[in-house]
Amino acid sequence: MAPSWWVRQVPSRKPGPSVDSGRVGPSEWWGRNRWPRSPRRRTAPMSRYLILLPAPEAEWAELPSEEHDKGHRSHLQFQEELTAGGHTVVTGGPLDSSDRATSMRPGADGQALVTDGPFSETAEQVVGFYLVESGDEADLRAVCQRFAARGEHIEFRRMAE
């Protein structure tokens, strides 16, 4: 499917079946320039980025409430900086603790092997994420670097297109 900036409605010079059916008729194709002009991009194409938030869950749970408040303020500032930079948070949020996770992998008998708990035992788990849409990767990286400098550990990944 063509990107939305590529698709263009070409107005008909006179009403007719091509206008009503949505198909391009002869009047649209045989104009002054012989072929319709391709549309110009008005904005940079948007890409999506996944910002993973890994952290040691056990340590976070033991922190005093002041540290939790500091983390909350850091996230609010991050979200404000994203908005100010023209980036769009598509979705995101904290995840439930890893002890409530369910792992699924292929079993030997062709069925899924389902186990309670995280996929693997590690010191850090993914505790949250942001899915961000942006046309300016350099600025988005700068916003993420400022977020990390305030004490947040993040993993920045561009989604494959």
Q: Provide the CATH topology of domain 47-158.
A: Alpha-Beta Plaits (3.30.70)
12-58 per-position pLDDT tens digit:
444 444 444 454 444 444 444 444 454 544 556 799 999 999 988 88
Above 50 in pLDDT, residue 151?
yes
With 0.75 as the threshold, say if the pTM is over it.
no
Q: Are 131 and 38 in contact (CB under 8 A)?
A: no
**Span 137-149, average pLDDT:** 96
Which pLDDT tens digit goes with each residue over 63-104?
899 998 999 999 999 999 999 999 999 999 999 888 888 888
* Inter-CA distances, 43 with 61, 86, 142, Å: 44, 12, 20
Give the Cα separation of 78 and 72 in Å (integer): 10
Q: Where are the domains of the chain?
A: 47-158
Confidence check: pLDDT of 159 > 90: yes
